[in-house]
Structure 1
Amino acid sequence: MFPLMRRAAVVIAAGVLLSGAALHGGAQASQTSVEESPSAQLATLREAASTSGKFIGTAIADHRLSDATYNGIAAREFSSVTAENAMKWDAIQPQRGTFNWAAPDRLMQFAQANSQQVYGHTLVWHSQMPGWLQNGNFSGTEMNQIMNTHISTVMGRYRGQINRWDVVNEAFNEDGSLRNSKWYQVLGRDYIANAFRAARAADPNAKLFINDYNTDGINAKSNGMYNLVRDLRAQGVPIDGVGFQSHLILDQLPSDYQANLQRFADLGVEVVVTELDIRMRTPSDAAKLQRQSQQFAQVVQACLNVSRCSGVTVWGFSDRDSWVPGTFPGEGAALPYDDNYQPKPAYNGILTAFGGSPGGGDPGPGPGADCTAAYQVANRWNAGSVVEVRVTARQALNGWTATFALPAGESVTSSWNTQLTQSGTTVTARNVAHNATVPAGGTFSFGFQTNSGAVYSAPVVSLNGTACTAGTA
């Protein structure tokens, strides 16, 4: 068994983020002198995320833990780790009553050595079942006993050491009905409530989650999830949180992503982005990577804007280890690091959305680092609106590209001081001759008119692939 690591608290005054270095917890809490600059203090993802009280996590592939480069990034950049496969049923109980603890124990040791939270994944799932379970002919009583024994054994081993557990994973069909899994076939819908009750008994202090994919926007599947969580909580079933996997496609981030997180949070549950990646048709190019950076930043910003959102986990951090190409041929480049463990624009998108400053421990590419953008709807009427955008760049620019998203269905009809194009909801604004050169600390501006007077929140504006901090006009 592993001793419980106590994490140091990070105190945030109301509305004011601490400027000191992020505390990583345990006996290894970092010491930061007052001479250090804010950029140095917030140069990693975990440092930046901690100032807002959120965690930034990654899935860990057990076979990569012998790689020093992989270990270094995972330890430095992330405050939470999730077992990619090591805690799934076929890996941890391959034969009935025989548990394989080697890989999960390695993850626990890694997390404790680096003062990281652990997100347990997953206890009850229709996929990756061992043959004895998938093909067994069990009565309802025996099936329920098998489930309860598995939950109590696995959670019991790590009791008090795992912060959150995906208790039930991917229980829904796309139409919002419950998936016809083996669990459902033998136990009916009660298997979900029974699993959560068993999990609470196994570790009363762990937060218990239900987790699924394609529930990121408001749709039939997320409505099914919403109704289930609402009803089970009303019955006293101990569901503490909902996980949104967020396996997204470039340029297809739902416009109601934040609103969806918020409606679940309004049920009184914690929400977490659990398996974030944003895939694209390969090969990638500069324009795609810029849009991907912006969309990673938008997901992070949505979590920041929902008080009950506790953090964001990316499903692995390097394209080398991504599940995407093997599942979606011709697609990939879905993660913040490339195949060579070098940061992509998406890294800076995440970092700056959390309030960090590129240029410290793990700088990403892109000359647009450290920018502030003011996005203002200057005039609005029933059939249109006029928008003004002002961007201030810390670094000197010789040519620029700014990207942002409009609500679905809203189109640009004209623009000024920019060459502006639109693809789906993504708008790309490029410099014209007279405003291509911008000095360090200088500001450029442009504007456009749209065909809709819809009211919406200001989007994240990215400069040359890096998300800018929101500013005022």
Structure 2
Amino acid sequence: MPTTPRPVKTVLASVTAAVLLAAAAATPAHAQSPPLRDLADQQGLRMGAAVASHLLDDADYRRTAATEFNSVTHENDLKWESVQPQPGQYSWSGADRLVEFAEQNGQQIHGHTLVWHSQLPSWVENGSFTPAELTQVMEDHIDTTMGRYRGQIQTWDVVNEPIGDDAQFRNSVFHRVLGEDFIAQSLHMARAADPEATLFINDYNIDGINAKSDAYYELAQDLLAQGAPLDGIGLQGHLISGQLPQDIQQNIQRFADLGLEVMITELDIRMTMPVTQQKLEQQARDYTQVMDACLAVSGCSGVTVWGVTDAHSWVPDHFTGEGAALPIDDDYEAKPAYWSIHEALGGDGQNGPDDPGPGEPGTGTCEVAYDFTSQWGQGAVVEVTVHNGSGSAVQDWSLTWERPSGEQISSAWNSLIQQSGTTVTAGPVEWNRSIAPGGQVSFGFQTTHAGAPSVPGGFSLGSESCTIR
């Protein structure tokens, strides 16, 4: 679990449509393979990532976070020291920015975190509170933070890491002043702040069955027995490649059997540097093991990786000589771990120009499928599939259509898109320049609209008109 804001490499970029479209070539889900979020949607599963709001200035980071994940978690922007550095003085800019980003991209949000012994402002950590005073401080913080995002953030880590590695309650200001009752109190405060939210406790090193996870199992039983509104438990999943517990599924199952929702909330699987192909293959098997464990238990609702790319992972700064812990590397390239997740979610687990892609080929010479994969307010995500029904390959294809009135494309992936007035032209990127006979290519984009989204009236592949299916 990251305990301090991570030093990161910030790339300043103008977040304009032109930049986002030009950056589309970097998406890890090349060619016709659907992104992870599409596969997860089909499974009814969260596939999330921890996102840092300031890194959304980086076009590749922003696009990958939007394209690959159907859920986001604030990496640091919702922690107490970030939102309330001084008593009663709140700062929401970073947290608001990620909430807005998620809503623009049709993503769920997991709130992290409300009550935690770390990343506390000094006025809380070192305060000389009476029990009544600390209770009021907690209630004000929880009510203000959750109240601001009521109806927007669906799930919350209400209490984070209250038990130490010795399986005993951690020596925090909350436990010193209020005892272990602070956990139940926090949950009741959170329920009052947003009755519709799903409330979690969350910790690391409780992925398998061990003394610490046993302590959490007993804590969960106690909380439920006393009527505390505990809805779920987060198993963080900061793991070491080749050293995963073998009973992850059994551990998930026992918490699910208590009636709790279980999420893998902060998954990364680090390796000793330097990276080798053998290590990458082992890491891919490890990610498969975690994904399969979650998918095998109906009460496991999702998996969130702790970061978008290795370039901004917290791991190298906290584990000397270790890193490369995420499924997407420093250059936004998909690693074997990415494709192992892809396969676990029901995809083909591979990337290449010969992949058939989703959907069945049409029968016409040129057919276009234009599907809204998600919609919200005044925005939508569109997936376009172009089928070549002719007997010869289409090289350096160009698909043209008239943009529906009031719509504007803001970002795209797997295609370079140009807009001139109301005319839109989509062309290939490096890996999908050719549409084989009987083959197809797929690409996607995000659009804003004034009214309801609509399908264009017609498409042309080069000089040939296409059938819309």
> Does the Cα contact within 8 Å between 2:340 and 2:349 map onto a contact in 1?
no
Q: Could you tell me which residue of structure 1 aligns to residue 64 of structure 2?
A: 73
Task: Choose which of 261, 279, 282 in structure 1 pairs with 2:270.
Answer: 279
My pick for the range that moved more, 174-183 or 227-236, is 174-183
Q: Could you tell me which residue of structure 2 aligns to residue 163 of structure 1?
A: 154
Q: Could you tell me which residue of structure 1 aligns to residue 455 of structure 2?
A: none
Deviation digits for residues 27-52 of structure 1 (CA, Å, limit 9, x no counterpart)? xxxxxxxxxxxx98861101111111
1:221-300 equivalence runs, <5 A: 221-300=212-291
Task: Choose which of 73, 87, 99 in structure 1 pairs with 2:78.
Answer: 87
Pair 1:186-2:191 in alignment:
no
Task: Choose which of 319, 330, 342 in structure 2 pairs with 1:328.
Answer: 319
Cα distance in 2 between the residues matched to 1:261 and 1:316: 23
Cα distance in 1 between the residues matched to 2:309 and 2:58: 13
Q: Alpha-carbon deviation of 1:297?
A: 1.1
> Does the Cα contact within 8 Å between 1:176 and 1:224 map onto a contact in 2?
yes
Mark the runs of 5 or more structure 2 residues left unpaired by the alignment: 1-29, 358-469
Cα distance in 1 between the residues matched to 2:215 and 2:107: 33
Q: Alpha-carbon deviation of 1:55?
A: 1.0
> Does the Cα contact within 8 Å between 2:187 and 2:229 map onto a contact in 1?
yes
**Normalization by structure 1: what TM-score?**
0.67
Pair 1:147-2:141 in alignment:
no
Cα distance in 1 between the residues matched to 2:175 and 2:352: 46
Q: Alpha-carbon deviation of 1:61?
A: 1.1
Change (3 A) 1:315 1:233: same
The higher relative CO (CA closer than 8 Å, separation ≥ 6) is in: 2
Cα distance in 2 between the residues matched to 1:364 and 1:283: 27
Aligned length: 327
> Does the Cα contact within 8 Å between 1:358 and 1:364 map onto a contact in 2?
no
Cα distance in 2 between the residues matched to 1:65 and 1:195: 31
> Does the Cα contact within 8 Å between 1:279 and 1:331 map onto a contact in 2?
yes
Cα distance in 1 between the residues matched to 2:352 and 2:274: 20
How many percent identity over aligned positions? 57
Cα distance in 1 between the residues matched to 2:33 and 2:143: 40
Cα distance in 1 between the residues matched to 2:180 and 2:122: 23
Q: Could you tell me which residue of structure 1 aligns to residue 44 of structure 2?
A: 53
Mark the runs of 5 or more structure 1 residues left unpaired by the alignment: 1-38, 370-473
Which amino acid letter does the alignment assign opposite residue 89 of structure 1?
W
> Does the Cα contact within 8 Å between 1:43 and 1:357 map onto a contact in 2?
no
> Does the Cα contact within 8 Å between 1:42 and 1:355 map onto a contact in 2?
no
Q: Alpha-carbon deviation of 1:103?
A: 0.5
Q: Alpha-carbon deviation of 1:235?
A: 1.0
Q: Alpha-carbon deviation of 1:175?
A: 2.6
Q: Could you tell me which residue of structure 1 aligns to residue 113 of structure 2?
A: 122
Q: Could you tell me which residue of structure 1 aligns to residue 122 of structure 2?
A: 131
1:226 match: secondary structure? helix
Which amino acid letter does the alignment assign opposite residue 175 of structure 1?
D
Cα distance in 1 between the residues matched to 2:94 and 2:88: 17
> Does the Cα contact within 8 Å between 1:240 and 1:270 map onto a contact in 2?
yes
Cα distance in 1 between the residues matched to 2:31 and 2:297: 27
Deviation digits for residues 346-374 of structure 1 (CA, Å, limit 9, x no counterpart)? 11011111111346xxx489x9x9xxxxx
1:51 match: secondary structure? helix
> Does the Cα contact within 8 Å between 1:343 and 1:364 map onto a contact in 2?
no
Cα distance in 2 between the residues matched to 1:42 and 1:311: 21
Pair 1:219-2:216 in alignment:
no
> Does the Cα contact within 8 Å between 1:119 and 1:165 map onto a contact in 2?
yes
Cα distance in 2 between the residues matched to 1:173 and 1:314: 22
Q: Alpha-carbon deviation of 1:140?
A: 0.8
Deviation digits for residues 227-274 of structure 1 (CA, Å, limit 9, x no counterpart)? 000111011100000000000001111000100000000000000000
Cα distance in 2 between the residues matched to 1:321 and 1:364: 27
Cα distance in 1 between the residues matched to 2:63 and 2:352: 16
Deviation digits for residues 122-160 of structure 1 (CA, Å, limit 9, x no counterpart)? 000000001111111111110010001100000000001
Pair 1:351-2:342 in alignment:
yes
> Does the Cα contact within 8 Å between 2:31 and 2:352 map onto a contact in 1?
no
1:94 match: secondary structure? coil
Cα distance in 2 between the residues matched to 1:193 and 1:271: 18
Cα distance in 2 between the residues matched to 1:148 and 1:223: 29
Cα distance in 2 between the residues matched to 1:130 and 1:78: 31
Which amino acid letter does the alignment assign opposite residue 250 of structure 1?
S
Cα distance in 2 between the residues matched to 1:76 and 1:62: 16
> Does the Cα contact within 8 Å between 2:261 and 2:299 map onto a contact in 1?
yes
Cα distance in 1 between the residues matched to 2:349 and 2:283: 17
Which amino acid letter does the alignment assign opposite residue 60 of structure 1?
V
> Does the Cα contact within 8 Å between 1:164 and 1:208 map onto a contact in 2?
yes
Q: Alpha-carbon deviation of 1:317?
A: 2.3
Q: Could you tell me which residue of structure 2 aligns to residue 198 of structure 1?
A: 189
Aligned-residue Cα RMSD (Å) equals 1.9
Which amino acid letter does the alignment assign opposite residue 116 of structure 1?
Q
Cα distance in 2 between the residues matched to 1:239 and 1:117: 20
Q: Could you tell me which residue of structure 2 aligns to residue 411 of structure 1?
A: none
Deviation digits for residues 187-227 of structure 1 (CA, Å, limit 9, x no counterpart)? 10110000000000000011000000000110000000000
> Does the Cα contact within 8 Å between 2:61 and 2:308 map onto a contact in 1?
no
